[in-house]
Amino acid sequence: MKLSKAILSLIIVLSAFNLVKADPPTLSTALNTVTKTYLGIKNALVTNNAIEAENMAKDMISALNAVPEKEMTAEQHKLWFDYLNKLEFDSRHISESNPVDHKREHFASLSTNLFIVLKAFKLNTATIYKQYCPMKKAYWISETATIKNPYYGIGSMVTCGTTKEVLKGDNK
């Protein structure tokens, strides 16, 4: 009898766990996760770590697909779906291509498109910096004002670039 009560109690406890579902992320949380994965790609390219860039690009694809559209305004919704395929395309190429230079080509358009989205949504919790490499004529997003150029990486003009724009975060 004790065994059957224990089994019944265990079934009740386990079924209660199944009823509790994690809340989906808020729009702000989801976009900040996208930004963090992007910064992971950027930092991997700064250190010439192609494998880490690939892994972070895979994470970015997952993060992009986890962004909830239900909290978006009509204008945000349109913008998001205008850019989502572009962001996924570049992330996928970064995750699948072998030469680091090819990853950097896709990183340039990924950076430009993501900055447009982040600037329009204004939901970043941390300050981010839009930086520019005059030699590559390409932008990237950074979490610091210090220039660490992902288009050249460690050992070759890593400090080449300037900050062109700052998006202040709300630092919740």
C-alpha 49/C-alpha 54 separation (Å) is 9
**Least confidently predicted of 10-14, 42-46, 70-74:** 10-14
Question: What's the whole-model pTM score?
Answer: 0.84
Domain ranges of the chain: 25-167
pLDDT tens for 102-142 read 899 999 999 999 999 999 999 888 999 999 999 999 999 99
pLDDT tens for 33-55 read 999 999 999 999 999 999 999 99
Among 118, 46, 97, 84, smallest CA distance to 105 is for 97
C-alpha 57/C-alpha 76 separation (Å) is 23
- CA 2 to chain CA centroid, nearest Å: 52
Sheet of 128-133: strand order equals 138-142, 128-133, 162-167
